[in-house]
C-alpha cells in the first residue's frame, strides 16, 4: 500500500520534529516516521543528566565551537539563534535558566515535559506519526521505502526531510545505517567518527580497581597547547567527562594519525607553579608522601594516584620536580572509545552537495538536517542548537520548494 503526504519526515528526533512543526504551521500535510516505537529516544536520553539546550556565550565564541564546519553552521544559527531556541522552549511552557557555566537548561532539567508538550502541539497541528518504520532507501520512482512490522511499505511525498541522526548510542535509534544508502545514491558522506567520547589510557590495576568512577575535580586538561578547565572522571578504560569531551576531537585526530598522544592534567590550576613549589618545600617530618601532598598542596587521593601512575614508580622528592608534576601530570592516550559509546558523531552528509537550505543538489525535494550533517561540536548545548537550527533552515527550504512547485516563487 502506498501512503501519500505533502512532506515526509524520516526521523522523529529533535531535528525532524522541529521541521515538522514549522512545515505543519505553514499548512502542509506532514507525516513523521521513525524506526523506533516512539519519538525522541535520544532526546530523552540527553535529558537524563540535565538537558543542556544551548549556551549563553557571545555569538563569536559560540560559532567558533563548530570546528571546520563553522562557515556552514553560521548562517543556520544566525537564522535560528540560542535566544530563538530559548523562546521556543518557553513557548512550550518550559521556562529555562542559565547555569554558572553559561549553559542553558529547561528549569525541569529534563526532556520529558518538553517532549510531551511538543508532541501535543504537533498533533494539534495535524502532524501524523508512523513508528516502527525503518527507511531502507528509494525505489526507482524515487518513493521512500520502509520495512515495517506488516511488511514493506512505500510512502509518496512531494518533498522529504531525512533527519536520521548520527551513529552514537544506536540503541536509541540512530545507527548510521543510512550511510550506505546515501553512498549508493552518489551523495558524499564524510566517514562517521565518534565525537565527545572517552579516552583510553592503560591504567595500572591499582588505579583502575581503586579509582574507576572517581571524579578529578577542578582540574585543567591540556592537549597540544589547548587547556580546558573542568571535571574528568576516571573510567575502567581511561577518562571521560566534560573537560575530556571538550578536547576529544583534536585528541581523536591525533590518536588516529599517530597511534597515541599525550595529555597533561593540572591538578591545582588555581595555584601558580612557584607557590606550589614553595608549599612543597615545607619539612615533611615523618609524613608519608600522600599525607604530605594532601596537607601541603591540597591534593585528593585520585590526584596523587595519577601522579604515581605517570611516574610509574616513586614520586620525585625534589620540590621543584614534584610541583611541576602537580601542574602537569602526563598521561598517554592510546585509543578512543567507539562511536556506540560516544555522546555524538562527527562526519556525515557533506555540505558541498547541499543547497543553503540543505536540499541534496542531486536529489531535488530531498532535504537533510540534524546530526547526520558533517559538523561536530563539544557538549555545552552546541549539539542541539545546531540540530534545531539546521531543521529550521531545511523546513523553510521545503516550504519554499513546495511553493515553487505550486507556481509561486522558489526559496532555494
Ligand X SMILES: Cc1cc2nc3c(=O)[nH]c(=O)nc-3n(C[C@H](O)[C@H](O)[C@H](O)COP(=O)(O)OP(=O)(O)OC[C@H]3O[C@@H](n4cnc5c(N)ncnc54)[C@H](O)[C@@H]3O)c2cc1C
Nearer to ligand X, 51 or 254 (CB): 51
153 binds ligand X (CB under 6 A): no
Residue from 35, 167, 255, 336 in contact with ligand X (CB under 6 A): 35
Of 114-122, 157-165, 294-302, 326-334, the segment contacting ligand X by CB under 6 A is 157-165
The span from the CA of 256 to the CA of 347, in Å, is 15
Number of residues that bind ligand X (CB under 6 A): 36
242 binds ligand X (CB under 6 A): no
The Cα diameter of the chain in Å comes to 88
169 binds ligand X (CB under 6 A): yes
94 binds ligand X (CB under 6 A): no
Per-position DSSP letters for 151-217, written without gaps between them = EEEEEEEEEEEE----SSSGGGS--STHHHHHHHTT--EEEEEEES--EE----HHHHHHHTT-EEE
Sheet harboring 329-333: ordered strands across?
329-333, 261-266, 215-223, 226-234, 238-240, 199-200, 335-336
Of 189, 139, 128, 199, give the one whose Cα is nearest residue 164.
189
Question: In 10 A of CB 292, how many CB atoms?
Answer: 20
Query: In angstroms, what CA-CA distances link 270 with 207, 219, 261, 322, 327?
Result: 25, 9, 25, 17, 10
Which string of x and - marks every residue 286-325 that binds ligand X (by CB under 6 A)?
----------------------------------------
The span from the CA of 131 to the CA of 357, in Å, is 27
The span from the CA of 231 to the CA of 303, in Å, is 12
14 binds ligand X (CB under 6 A): yes
* Residues 184-213, interacting with ligand X (CB under 6 A): none
Grouping H, G, I as helix, E, B as strand and the rest as coil, residue 384 is helix
Nearer to ligand X, 182 or 203 (CB): 182
| Cβ contact 35:163 at 8 Å | no
| Cβ contact 174:371 at 8 Å | yes
177 binds ligand X (CB under 6 A): yes
65 binds ligand X (CB under 6 A): no
Chain centre to alpha carbon of residue 32: 23
173 binds ligand X (CB under 6 A): yes
CB of 134 to ligand X, least distance (A): 4
15 binds ligand X (CB under 6 A): yes
Residue from 3, 26, 28, 34 in contact with ligand X (CB under 6 A): 34
Nearer to ligand X, 266 or 371 (CB): 371
Nearer to ligand X, 18 or 299 (CB): 18
Residue from 25, 29, 45, 112 in contact with ligand X (CB under 6 A): 45
**283 CB burial (10 A radius; 0-12, 13-18, 19+):** exposed
CB of 242 to ligand X, least distance (A): 11
Nearer to ligand X, 103 or 268 (CB): 103
Task: Give Rg (Cα) of the chain.
Answer: 25
367 binds ligand X (CB under 6 A): no
Residue from 3, 5, 52, 222 in contact with ligand X (CB under 6 A): 52
240 binds ligand X (CB under 6 A): no
Of 41-49, 216-224, 360-368, 400-408, the segment contacting ligand X by CB under 6 A is 41-49
Residue from 135, 203, 211, 367 in contact with ligand X (CB under 6 A): 135
Residues that bind ligand X (CB under 6 A): 10-16, 34-36, 41-43, 45-46, 51-52, 134-135, 163-165, 168-169, 173-174, 177-178, 343-344, 370-371, 381, 383-384, 387
Amino acid at each position: 500500500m502506498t501512503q501519500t503526504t505533502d512532506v515526509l519526515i524520516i526521523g522523529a528526533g529533535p531535528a525532524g520534529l522541529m521541521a515538522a512543526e514549522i512545515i505543519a504551521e505553514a499548512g502542509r500535510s506532514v507525516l513523521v516516521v521513525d524506526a523506533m516505537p516512539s519519538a525522541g529516544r535520544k532526546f530523552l536520553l540527553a535529558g537524563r543528566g540535565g538537558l543542556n539546550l544551548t549556551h549563553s556565550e557571545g555569538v563569536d565564541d559560540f560559532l567558533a565551537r563548530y570546528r571546520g564546519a563553522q562557515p556552514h553552521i553560521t548562517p543556520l544559527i544566525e537564522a535560528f539563534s540560542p535566544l530563538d531556541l530559548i523562546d521556543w522552549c518557553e513557548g512550550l511552557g518550559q521556562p529555562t535558566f542559565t547555569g554558572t557555566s553559561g549553559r542553558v537548561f529547561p528549569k525541569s532539567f529534563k526532556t520529558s515535559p518538553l517532549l510531551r508538550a511538543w508532541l501535543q502541539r504537533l498533533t494539534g497541528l495535524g502532524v501524523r506519526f508512523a513508528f516502527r518504520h525503518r527507511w531502507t532507501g528509494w525505489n526507482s520512482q524515487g518513493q521512500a521505502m520502509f520495512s515495517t512490522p506488516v511488511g514493506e511499505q512505500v510512502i509518496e511525498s512531494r518533498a522529504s526531510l531525512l533527519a536520521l541522526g548520527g551513529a552514537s548510542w544506536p540503541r536509541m535509534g540512530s545507527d548510521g545505517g543510512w550511510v550506505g544508502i546515501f553512498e549508493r545514491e552518489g551523495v558524499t558522506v564524510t566517514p562517521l567518527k565518534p565525537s565527545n567520547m572517552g579516552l583510553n589510557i592503560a591504567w595500572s590495576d591499582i588505579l583502575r580497581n581503586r579509582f574507576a568512577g572517581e571524579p578529578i575535580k577542578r582540574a585543567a586538561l591540556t592537549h597540544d597547547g589547548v587547556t580546558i578547565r573542568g571535571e574528568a572522571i576516571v573510567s575502567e578504560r581511561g577518562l571521560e567527562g566534560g573537560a575530556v569531551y571538550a578536547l576529544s576531537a583534536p585528541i581523536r585526530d591525533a590518536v588516529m594519525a599517530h597511534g597515541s598522544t599525550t595529555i597533561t592534567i593540572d591538578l591545582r590550576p588555581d595555584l601558580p607553579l612557584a607557590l606550589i613549589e614553595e608549599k612543597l618545600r615545607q619539612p615533611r617530618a615523618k609524613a608519608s608522601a600522600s599525607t604530605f601532598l594532601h596537607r601541603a598542596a591540597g591534593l585528593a587521593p585520585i590526584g596523587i594516584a595519577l601522579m604515581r601512575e605517570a611516574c610509574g614508580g616513586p614520586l620525585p622528592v625534589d620540590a621543584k620536580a614534584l610541583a611541576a608534576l602537580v601542574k602537569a601530570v602526563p598521561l598517554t592516550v592510546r585509543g578512543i572509545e567507539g562511536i556506540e559509546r560516544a555522546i555524538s558523531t562527527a562526519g556525515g552528509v557533506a555540505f558541498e552537495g547541499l543547497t543553503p537550505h540543505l536540499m541534496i543538489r542531486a536529489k531535488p525535494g530531498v532535504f537533510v538536517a540534524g546530526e547526520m550533517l558533517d559538523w561536530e561540536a563539544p557538549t555545552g548545548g552546541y549539539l542541539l542548537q545546531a540540530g534545531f537550527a539546521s531543521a529550521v533552515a531545511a523546513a523553510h527550504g521545503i516550504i519554499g520548494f513546495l511553493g515553487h512547485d505550486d507556481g509561486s516563487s522558489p526559496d532555494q
